[in-house]
Amino acid sequence: MYQVKRNNLIFLFLIVVICLIKLFHIGYYRINFSTNLLFYTFKKDFANNQAVSDNVLEAYQLIRKSKISNFNLSNKLYLNGYFKQRIVEFSYPIRLDTNSQFVLALSDSRLTCKVKLESKRIKLYEC
């Protein structure tokens, strides 16, 4: 009886240890868990910089500042799958519209349009 109980305890202990190791593995290596994020989990716009790249964040800030309802992307940005996807999600309800007069481009691009707003990496043109 004692032997069975002891074996059971060892078994449970092992499983608990594996679960704990896996929880830490998921938290710290797979999803970048942070207690700071946990404490501010419901705060508006918290950790936006961790969710998307600086380019996307800057582009979003330009769109928001200029109070436009839609935007387009330069050819280079349009072909960048990551940028296109993230700016579409992040800027919603402001929409990507290929007919929009407002065009986002990288700051080193040259478009024959008027620069409406600019940041370190991104320019918003009005065409």
Query: According to the binding rule CB under 8 A, does residue 75 interact with another protein?
Result: no
**For residues 34 and 51, is the Cβ–Cβ distance under 8 A?**
no
Helix H or strand E encompassing 116: strand 114-118
Task: Indicate the Cα dihedral angle 59, 62, 65, 68, nearest 10°.
Answer: -80
- 78-117 mask for another protein (x: CB under 8 A)? -------xx-xx--xx-xx---------------------
Sole window of 13-21, 59-67, 108-116, 119-127 interacting with another protein (rule: CB under 8 A)? 13-21
- 67: closest CA among 118, 99, 102, 114? 102
Please tell me whether residue 45 adopts helix, strand or coil conformation: coil
Q: What's the closest the beta carbon of residue 123 comes to another protein, in angstroms?
A: 24
Tokens of 66: 């200029």
Query: According to the binding rule CB under 8 A, does residue 35 interact with another protein?
Result: yes
**For residues 96 and 70, is the Cβ–Cβ distance under 8 A?**
yes
Query: According to the binding rule CB under 8 A, does residue 3 interact with another protein?
Result: no
Query: According to the binding rule CB under 8 A, does residue 31 interact with another protein?
Result: yes
**Which residues of this protein are in contact with another protein, per CB under 8 A?**
8, 11-12, 15-16, 18-19, 22-23, 26-27, 30-35, 37-38, 40-48, 50-52, 85-86, 88-89, 92-93, 95-96
